[in-house]
């Protein structure tokens, strides 16, 4: 019976293990709309724009839209597409790939090594957040990709100025759900423990903790929860900490703690004893990568890459 049960289980495992990885699509032109989200007019406008830029500068900018990445990692697959298509001229590596996965709601600007000076990672990220994401959230892929391509060209030509989130009308939203919730609860709980300890610590150490925690409140919540929530939490800490010290340092506050929260009352009476010690921990590292043994070709299209390769630079984003 066990053997009969193991046969279909083994076959299922083999089918999953042997499932082909997402193949790099054929390079059909400067605009490769495999997700079918662009209008014919937008495709023509983009193609003409990119062709004129390439003829004038030799920089090769290509757009690729996909329905889904499947199980592939966005960054790794973008590099694979870039190197398979050989975007940019050989020796110059002056190619740029704008890859968009519609169902995954992810995108990446992959930049060849030769253009990383004029289109660095930070600027590529700003283009995604300021130019493309607002249009995509309105469902206007034509406008979003057009705006992104215009900004990429302007950045390469030294004419693009990164807008701040306020100017772009799109505040930084932090990590995507549910990671923002998971990491947010983790970070806030840690900061909360130190905050409570600081509030009930007596003497100068309490105010040292107050100042010491400010950079942490100003950094981690902002990155994980977004600019609005992070700023709100920072403001609550800056005002709440000394306010709690004032309230629970008074006689009325101490009586309230004694009656309602006896454990906190004992804590406030004894204070937190800080001591130094040695600690040791295990180092943690993670590495991931994507590789494929499949060979690809660009098809019989009249448009092809020039032999360039990716330097691994660029930026990713979501909407």
User: What is the predicted pLDDT for the residue at 187?
Assistant: 83
User: What is the predicted pLDDT for the residue at 163?
Assistant: 59
User: What is the predicted pLDDT for the residue at 172?
Assistant: 52
Please report which confidence band the pLDDT of residue 250 belongs to, taking 50, 70 and 90 as the band edges. Answer: low
Nearest partner of 54 among 115, 90, 95, 93, judged by Cα: 95
User: What is the predicted pLDDT for the residue at 67?
Assistant: 93
Above 90 in pLDDT, residue 257? no
Per the model's pLDDT, the better-predicted residue between 314 and 13 turns out to be 314
Enumerate the β-bridge partners of residue 314.
110
**3-state per-residue secondary structure call for the chain:** CHHHHHHHHHHHHHHHHCCCCCCCCCCCCCEEECCCCCCHHHHHHHHHHHHHHHHHHCCEEEEEEECCCCCCCHHHHHHHHHHHHCCCECCCCCEEEEEEECCCCEEEEEEEHHHCCCCCHHHHHHHHHHHHHHHHHCCCHHHHHHHHHHHHHHHHCCCCCCCCHHHHCCCCCCCCCCHHHHHHHHHHHHHHHHHHHHHCCCCHHHHHHHHHHHHHHHHHHHHHHCHHHHHHHHHHHHHHHHHHHHHHHCHHHHHHHHHHCHHHHHHHHHCCCCCCCCCCCCCCCCCCCCCCCCCCCCCCCCCCCEECCEEEEEEEEEC
Cis peptide preceding 295, ω within 30 of 0: no
In angstroms, the CA 58 to CA 89 distance is 7
The crossing angle, in degrees rounded to 10, of helices 204-225 and 227-249 is 160
User: What is the predicted pLDDT for the residue at 316?
Assistant: 86
User: What is the predicted pLDDT for the residue at 110?
Assistant: 94
Instruction: Please tell me the least confidently modeled range out of 228-232, 251-255, 312-316.
Output: 251-255
| Tens-place pLDDT, residues 9-64 | 555 445 444 444 788 999 999 999 999 999 999 999 999 999 999 999 999 999 99
| CATH label, 22-170, candidates 1.10.260.40, 3.10.310.50, 3.40.50.620, 3.90.1010.20 | 3.10.310.50
User: What is the predicted pLDDT for the residue at 254?
Assistant: 66
Percent of the chain past pLDDT 70, that is, above it, reads 69
Per the model's pLDDT, the better-predicted residue between 90 and 164 turns out to be 90
Instruction: Tell me the mean pLDDT in the region 54-77.
Output: 93
| Tens-place pLDDT, residues 258-299 | 677 676 666 655 554 444 444 444 443 433 333 333 333 334
Per the model's pLDDT, the better-predicted residue between 116 and 299 turns out to be 116
Instruction: Tell me the mean pLDDT in the region 67-78.
Output: 91
User: What is the predicted pLDDT for the residue at 103?
Assistant: 93
User: What is the predicted pLDDT for the residue at 52?
Assistant: 95
């Amino acid at each position: 019976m066990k053997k009969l049960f193991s046969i279909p289980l083994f076959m299922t495992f083999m089918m999953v293990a042997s499932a082909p990885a997402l193949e790099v699509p054929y390079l059909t032109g400067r605009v490769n709309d495999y997700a079918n989200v662009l209008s014919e007019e937008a495709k023509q406008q983009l193609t003409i724009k990119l062709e004129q830029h390439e003829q004038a500068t030799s920089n090769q900018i290509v757009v690729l839209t996909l329905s889904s990445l499947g199980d592939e990692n966005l960054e790794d697959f973008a590099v694979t597409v870039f190197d398979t298509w050989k975007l940019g001229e050989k020796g110059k590596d002056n190619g740029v790939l704008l890859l968009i996965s519609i169902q995954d709601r992810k995108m990446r600007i992959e930049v060849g090594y030769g253009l990383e000076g004029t289109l660095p990672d930070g600027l590529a990220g700003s283009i995604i957040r300021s130019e493309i994401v607002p249009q995509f959230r309105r469902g206007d892929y034509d406008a979003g990709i057009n705006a992104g391509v215009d900004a990429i060209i302007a950045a390469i030509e030294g004419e693009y100025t990164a807008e701040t989130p306020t100017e772009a009308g799109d505040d930084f939203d932090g990590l995507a759900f549910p990671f923002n919730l998971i990491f947010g609860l983790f970070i806030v709980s840690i900061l909360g423990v130190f905050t409570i300890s600081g509030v009930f610590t007596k003497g100068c150490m309490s105010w040292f903790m107050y100042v010491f925690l400010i950079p942490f409140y100003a950094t981690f919540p902002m990155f994980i929860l977004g600019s609005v929530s992070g700023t709100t939490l920072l403001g609550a800490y800056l005002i709440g900490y000394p306010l709690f010290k004032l309230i629970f340092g008074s006689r009325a506050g101490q009586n309230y703690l004694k009656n309602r929260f006896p454990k906190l009352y004992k804590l406030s009476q004894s204070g937190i004893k800080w001591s130094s010690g040695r600690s040791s921990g295990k180092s943690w590292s993670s590495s991931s990568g994507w590789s494929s043994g499949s060979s690809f070709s660009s098809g019989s299209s009249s448009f092809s890459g020039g032999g360039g390769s990716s330097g691994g630079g660029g930026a990713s984003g979501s909407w």
